Amino acid sequence: MVKEASLTQSNGVGRYGKFGGQFVPETLMTALIELEEAYDGAMADSTFVDEVNYYLKDYVGRENPLYFAEKLTKSAGGAKIYLKREDLNHTGAHKINNSLGQALLAVRMGKKKIVAETGAGQHGVATATACALFGLDCVIFMGAEDIRRQELNVFRMELLGAKVVSVNKGAATLKDAVNEALRYWVANVEDTHYILGSALGPHPFPKIVRDFQRVIGVETRRQIMEKEERLPDAIVACIGGGSNAIGMFHPFLDDEDVALYGVEAAGSGIETGLHAAAIADGKEGVLHGAYMYVLQDDDGFIQEAHSISAGLDYPAVGPEHCHLHDIGRVKYTSVTDAGALEGLQLLARTEGIIPALESAHAVKFAVELAKDMAKEEILVICLSGRGDKDVQTVRNALGGGLND
Amino acid sequence: MTDMKLTKAINDCIERREKAFVPYIMAGDDGLETLKKNILFLQEAGVTAIEIGIPFSDPVADGPVIQEAGERALAHGVTLRNVLKELASFNKEVTIPLVIMTYLNPILRYGIDEFIKDCGDSGIDGLIIPDLPLEESALLRDSLVGSGIALIPLVSLTSPPDRIRKITAKGEGFIYAVTVNGITGVRDGFDDDLAAHFERLKAVSPVPVLAGFGISTPEQVRTIGALADGVIVGSAIVDAFHRKDLQAVEALVKA
């Protein structure tokens, strides 16, 4: 559709193959250029990096365990399964890694106000937390449908001092929240930093989010070497925008023997059209500042995503993942709502760990994958978040009771 | 590219010591059949050119009035493709320049070359693409060479001087100078430094400079118009057409 040559010839920066770029209103361009300069300066400054690491350790609780899930392994009857326990972070998910780093960056840039979007509320809670810690004003945009699904997270954000603004446009989910956050940022760009929560959006956001999430993969690599004295054979992570997955995958990209699997949300099933699997069913296009695979119709209008998990309910996938798909380095697959519910219950029963619905997609696929692997092989699941926030949703989905 | 029809129309205004007036309308607000009627009405009222907005699912640069108009148009099944087809059906009756304002993704789906060809057949003289900044503009610019269609750049209050020079150097048709930080829509006041901003802009731009975003009353048309070579009025026109208040439309045009 778009000629490959024309995309790579573009002067644009921040490209992953032909994906990424900076497709934003002119009002934001100066802020993006400033952000990139500030970020590069910060990362080259050991004082800043030490400060981020200090908070990751003493505030977030890193490093979190790489846990050998012996019971789950036995239940699957194949490869040894390890869980990277991002669910044990302060605020209950990997999102805090990025929110904390970007909040410190905002402080360094002299910005006193923060805007963010949230889907499941995990990024909103993480951002509200970081803003409370560093004394920043915080406005969070959240779709009205997600507010309904994640009532308690809204209250958590408010307890932390954030202002939560309900978005009633479109399907009133994550995509619409990003639209409103972008509009707010355009209007308040001079004193406000936008803490984007996934590896999405215009350059340099996909890079910044990835770099702050890389700690997941860096720790996993060190931990598996300590425990097994070798790298894993496979790593599985769920994909909405793709921040936990890119953070986990990135330190392993050059290790060709480590198979990497990204699991999209297949909602009611890819064939029903009601899903959030942009790599499986999307077409190349531009949304929220980046060239990506996007769920869209023949007229180029963006379609609504559908998933039981609010955090995966987004109609595109971050640009670096699109590129990793094109070059075949990461294999992208999908799990339905029903599959995720099975994964969630299985992990709860076997290990006493209730995963977030997002992470449950990865659990479900990983267990199927492990079955086909040899017993001496090793598989790591990125357990990106805990399921406390989803208990009500799961209860409703299971008809108020348990299906056994 | 000062010889383009669009630039010429605005320069003719300047020579007559008048200000250019470019209204924005949402294509197919209240149905696609309103498009011809509204364009011919504005032409008759004496506007310099018309900016035709294409509805989009995710219009991040637009304020509430245009967002709602876009939702109404989408509900009527309006798309980039059927707007161009409709325009082609009556373009012989249109003598003033027409400019399409659309987000980038519908153009990518359409296919860049086919889109430009169809724009030519529909009598389109310029394109405004709010999510295509200078850094990414090569994507369309190369395909537009020789088409006679201007790629109209936006300059914002946040654009620093060296960036303004780079943007205006590639300016075609006119420069769309955004007069506020933020999205389209009705506002009470403007930045005091606006006069200096326009002085700098006009000094470096090879093409006329039109002001847009937040200009909604005849008084604002006059005060902002005095600083620039002309104005673009969006939300107030869209709102007036939607209310079928043609007098309000004329009051803005004649301001």
As a whole number, the mean pLDDT across chain A is 94
Instruction: Give the residue, A27 or A332, on which the prediction is more confident.
Output: A332
Whether A402 shows a pLDDT value over 90: the answer reads: no
pLDDT digits 0-9 by tens, A244-298: 999 999 999 999 999 999 999 999 999 999 999 999 999 999 999 999 999 999 9
What is the Cα–Cα distance from B12 to B181, expressed in whole angstroms? Answer: 30
A103 and A131 in contact (C-beta within 8 Å)? yes
Tell which of B60, B74, B81, B118 to mutate to test the A interface (max A CBs under 10 Å): B60
pLDDT digits 0-9 by tens, A95-114: 999 999 999 999 999 999 99
**Is B79 within 8 Å of A187 when comparing Cβ atoms?**
no
The terminus-to-terminus CA distance of chain B in angstroms comes to 29
What is the Cα–Cα distance from B205 to B145, expressed in whole angstroms? Answer: 20
Question: Mind telling me how many Å the CA of B165 is from chain A's nearest CA?
Answer: 14
Contact list in B for residue A23 (CB cut-off 8 A) is: 104, 131-133, 136
Question: Exposed, middle or buried by CB within 10 Å (0-12, 13-18, 19+), for B90?
Answer: middle
Which residue ranges of chain B lie beneath pLDDT 50?
1
- Give the pLDDT of residue A3: 52
Q: Which residue of A283, A286, A303 is in closest CB contact with B104?
A: A286
State the pLDDT confidence band at A173, using cuts at 50, 70 and 90.
confident
The whole domain housing B242 covers: 5-250
**Is B136 within 8 Å of A296 when comparing Cβ atoms?**
no
Q: Which residue of B has its CA nearest to A300?
A: B106
Does the residue B201 lie in any domain? Answer: yes
Q: Is B163 helix (H, G, I), strand (E, B) or coil?
A: helix
Does the residue B255 lie in any domain? Answer: no
Q: Which of A36, A86, A117, A180 is catalytic?
A: A117
Question: Mind telling me how many Å the CA of A28 is from chain B's nearest CA?
Answer: 8
Q: Which residue of B57, B58, B136 is in closest CB contact with A21?
A: B136
What is the Cα–Cα distance from A183 to A185, expressed in whole angstroms? Answer: 5
Q: Of chain A residues 11-50, which have a CB less than 8 A from chain B?
A: 11-13, 21-31
**Is B136 within 8 Å of A13 when comparing Cβ atoms?**
no
Does the residue B171 lie in any domain? Answer: yes
| pLDDT cut 70: percent of chain A above it | 96
What is the Cα–Cα distance from A246 to A237, expressed in whole angstroms? Answer: 9
**Is B106 within 8 Å of A301 when comparing Cβ atoms?**
yes
How big is chain A by its Cα radius of gyration, in Å? 20
**Is B58 within 8 Å of A27 when comparing Cβ atoms?**
no
Closest residue by Cα to residue B214 from A301, A194, A27? A27
A195 is written with which tokens? Answer: 């803490």
**Is A11 within 8 Å of B135 when comparing Cβ atoms?**
yes
Instruction: Give the residue, B134 or A401, on which the prediction is more confident.
Output: B134
B65 and B92 in contact (C-beta within 8 Å)? no
Residues in CB range of A69: below 8 A, 6 or more apart: A81, A82, A83, A347, A350, A351, A381
- Side chain identity at residue A1, one-letter code: M
* Structural domain count of chain B: 1
- Judged by a CB distance cut-off of 8 A, whether residue A177 touches chain B is no
What is the Cα–Cα distance from B166 to A220, expressed in whole angstroms? Answer: 46
Contact list in B for residue A186 (CB cut-off 8 A) is: 60-61, 181-183
The terminus-to-terminus CA distance of chain A in angstroms comes to 49
What is the Cα–Cα distance from B110 to B145, expressed in whole angstroms? Answer: 19
Residues in CB range of A145: below 8 A, 6 or more apart: A171, A172, A173
**Weakest-pLDDT range from A67-71, A256-260, A399-403, B46-50:** A399-403
Question: Mind telling me how many Å the CA of A29 is from chain B's nearest CA?
Answer: 8
Tell which of A26, A36, A287 to mutate to test the B interface (max B CBs under 10 Å): A26
A219 is written with which tokens? Answer: 């720790």
What is the Cα–Cα distance from A200 to A245, expressed in whole angstroms? Answer: 12
- Give the pLDDT of residue B214: 86
Closest residue by Cα to residue A315 from B11, B142, B105? B105
A40 and A33 in contact (C-beta within 8 Å)? no
Q: Is A317 helix (H, G, I), strand (E, B) or coil?
A: strand
Residues in CB range of A399: below 8 A, 6 or more apart: none
Mean pLDDT for A49-62 is 98
Question: Exposed, middle or buried by CB within 10 Å (0-12, 13-18, 19+), for A352?
Answer: exposed
**How does strand A316-317 pair with strand A66-68?**
unpaired
Task: Output the CA angle B124-A289-B175, nearest 5 degrees.
Answer: 40
B94 and B123 in contact (C-beta within 8 Å)? yes
Q: Is B57 helix (H, G, I), strand (E, B) or coil?
A: coil
What burial letters (b/e) apply to B152-162, b meaning 16+ CB within 10 Å? bbbbbbbbeee
What is the Cα–Cα distance from A70 to A205, expressed in whole angstroms? Answer: 37
State the pLDDT confidence band at A9, using cuts at 50, 70 and 90.
very low
- Give the pLDDT of residue A371: 98
- Side chain identity at residue B23, one-letter code: P
- ω into A204 cis (within 30 of 0): yes
Whether A1 shows a pLDDT value over 50: the answer reads: no
- Judged by a CB distance cut-off of 8 A, whether residue A302 touches chain B is yes
Query: For residue A88, what is the DSSP state?
Result: G
A217 and A252 in contact (C-beta within 8 Å)? yes
Query: For residue A274, what is the DSSP state?
Result: B
- Judged by a CB distance cut-off of 8 A, whether residue A168 touches chain B is no
Closest residue by Cα to residue A393 from A147, A81, A49, A94? A147
State the pLDDT confidence band at A403, using cuts at 50, 70 and 90.
low
Q: Which residue of B130, B163, B181 is in closest CB contact with A190?
A: B181
Choose from A172-181, A185-194, A291-300, B175-184 the range with maximum mean pLDDT: A291-300
**Is A300 within 8 Å of B157 when comparing Cβ atoms?**
no
Q: Of chain A residues 342-371, which have a CB less than 8 A from chain B?
A: none
Q: Starting at the edge strand that comes first in sequence, how are the strands of the sheet with A234-238 ordered? A: A66-68, A80-85, A378-383, A234-238, A259-265, A330-335
- Give the pLDDT of residue B3: 67
Mean pLDDT for A357-384 is 98
The domain that contains B234 carries what CATH number? Answer: 3.20.20.70
**Is B156 within 8 Å of A190 when comparing Cβ atoms?**
no
